[in-house]
Amino acid sequence: MDTYRDEKRLLRYTYLFIVVCSLNLFIIKDPLDFGALIMGAVMIVLLAYTYFILRRFFPDGDKYIFIFSSMLTALGLVMIYRLDRGLAIKQIVWLILGIAIFIFIVVLVPELKRFKKFKYIYMVLTLAFMAMATFIGTEIFGAKNWVYVGPISFQPSEFGKVFLILYLAAALEEYENFKQLIEPAFIVMVSLGFMILQRDLGTALMIFAISLTMLYISTSKLKYILTCLALFAIGATLSYFLFYHVRRRVLIWHDPWPYVGNESYQLVQGYYGIAMGGLFGSGLGLGHPEFVAVRESDLIFSVIAEEMGMLVGFAVLILHFLLFYRNIRGAIYAKSNFTKLLTVGLSTMIATQTLVIVGGVTGFIPLTGITLPLVSYGGTSLLITFISLGIIQKVSEGE
């Protein structure tokens, strides 16, 4: 009962945050923006309905997974609406679709351990999606990782990551000897190779982190981890000398100021935004995000820090950490090694993506063009994240 009260309290805080931000966006526009109030109402109804379904029909699972993801999604939608009303409407549509799939997975999908028998289907789909942008992709901001099909655009690697995790969970669930690792290692190396060719360094780093974590959970062999780290260091060094774009990314990260008029403009403007916001921010709608490139997706953390302050920036990181903790905790309830590895892999994917983009925006690592999970604008990313959370939620229900 205490847990139920705590969940309701957190949801009330989330609703209050949405109401305050919606009223703020309603007032600061001239004329008054009634769309902001509609957006807030839609978010509250959507989150409340989903929580009701989970609590009413699936009371045993970890509801904090949905609550923490709801908080992050609400913050992201508020900021996207402040930046571009049209993109916010699209994001709400994607959110509705993502939550619908989330509920579908929890309610209707049969036992997840049954899906381990499709290992080679996952392998083929992994290679297909990882390779797709290499041959038919469009280059945007230096990375060739977008595919356009008529008016629809998506990043194939987003789907590729999920299929890779499904494949690795099926391939590593019954580890007995080193020979069983040869095929998964080959698939991971091919996937990394395609990401390097597409200049999608952020996804490459995520693939490595996911694979390393799942390998350790499956084998508990420290020597395998150390070997992988050594191979990754060698591969990164070779990539630095072989590929011009890798050298430029590292050079700009090391000293962005000589290139502020061109290649490092995006990065430096993000720095300025974070610095000008201070601890408490300039206020929602009172900053100058128009100077920040790719502000709705890659650099939305900078915009949040500028207008809401670094305190809210820290809150974003804390919420992602809590979400990761609850996700990993869900693996305890897994009934098979397949679902345990699947939960660990999906949890690591979301956490690593957060660390990579926030690390890039704040200058701890070279900036790579990926979204901040649940916060940034991006239909593919939001959809994949809610699919992942739906699987983790189902495992937490005792799947």
Domain segments of the chain as ranges: 2-396
pLDDT digits (tens, 9 = 90+) for 91-149: 999 999 999 999 999 988 888 888 999 999 999 999 999 999 999 888 876 678 888 88
Where is pLDDT greater, at 54 or 261?
A: 54
Residues 6+ apart with CB under 8 A from 99: 46, 50, 386
* pLDDT for position 254: 85
* pLDDT for position 304: 95
* pLDDT for position 1: 46
Least Cα distance to 185 among 211, 155, 219 occurs for: 211
Tell me the average pLDDT across 301-318: 95
Query: Does an H or E element contain 154, and which?
Result: strand 152-154
Task: Report the C-alpha gap between 117 and 115 in whole angstroms.
Answer: 5
Tell me the average pLDDT across 312-336: 92
Query: Does an H or E element contain 367, and which?
Result: none
Mean residue pLDDT of the chain comes to 91
Tell me the average pLDDT across 186-208: 92
Q: Which two tokens stand for residue 232?
A: 């990754």
First to last CA, the chain: 23
pTM higher than 0.85, yes or no?
A: yes
Query: Does an H or E element contain 140, and which?
Result: strand 138-140
* pLDDT for position 116: 92
Task: Report the C-alpha gap between 204 and 208 in whole angstroms.
Answer: 6
Phi, psi of 256 (to 5 degrees): -75, -15
Query: What confidence category does residue 206 fall into, taking pLDDT thresholds of 50, 70 and 90?
Result: very high
Tell me the average pLDDT across 7-26: 94
* pLDDT for position 137: 83
pLDDT digits (tens, 9 = 90+) for 11-20: 999 999 999 9
Tell me the average pLDDT across 29-55: 91
Tell me if residue 138 falls in helix, strand or coil.
Answer: strand
* pLDDT for position 250: 86
Say how far residue 396 (Cα) sits from the centre of its chain: 20
DSSP output for 208-242: HHHHHHHHHHHH--HHHHHHHHHHHHHHHHHHHHH
Q: In this prediction, what percent of the chain has a pLDDT beyond 70?
A: 99
Task: Report the C-alpha gap between 172 and 150 in whole angstroms.
Answer: 38
Tell me the average pLDDT across 173-200: 91
Query: What confidence category does residue 205 fall into, taking pLDDT thresholds of 50, 70 and 90?
Result: very high
Tell me the average pLDDT across 256-273: 85
Q: In this prediction, what percent of the chain has a pLDDT beyond 90?
A: 63
* pLDDT for position 36: 93
* pLDDT for position 45: 95
pLDDT digits (tens, 9 = 90+) for 229-252: 999 899 888 888 887 878 888 888
Q: Which two tokens stand for residue 327?
A: 């996700």
Say how far residue 111 (Cα) sits from the centre of its chain: 25
Lowest mean pLDDT among 32-36, 44-48, 83-87, 288-292: 288-292
Task: Report the C-alpha gap between 230 and 224 in whole angstroms.
Answer: 10
* pLDDT for position 2: 67
* pLDDT for position 77: 96
Phi, psi of 334 (to 5 degrees): -65, 140
DSSP H helices, the chain, are 2-28, 34-57, 64-83, 85-108, 119-136, 156-172, 182-197, 201-219, 222-242, 244-254, 265-277, 300-308, 310-330, 337-362, 379-396
Task: Report the C-alpha gap between 9 and 64 in whole angstroms.
Answer: 12
Residue 146 contacts residue 133 (beta carbons within 8 Å): yes
* pLDDT for position 399: 62
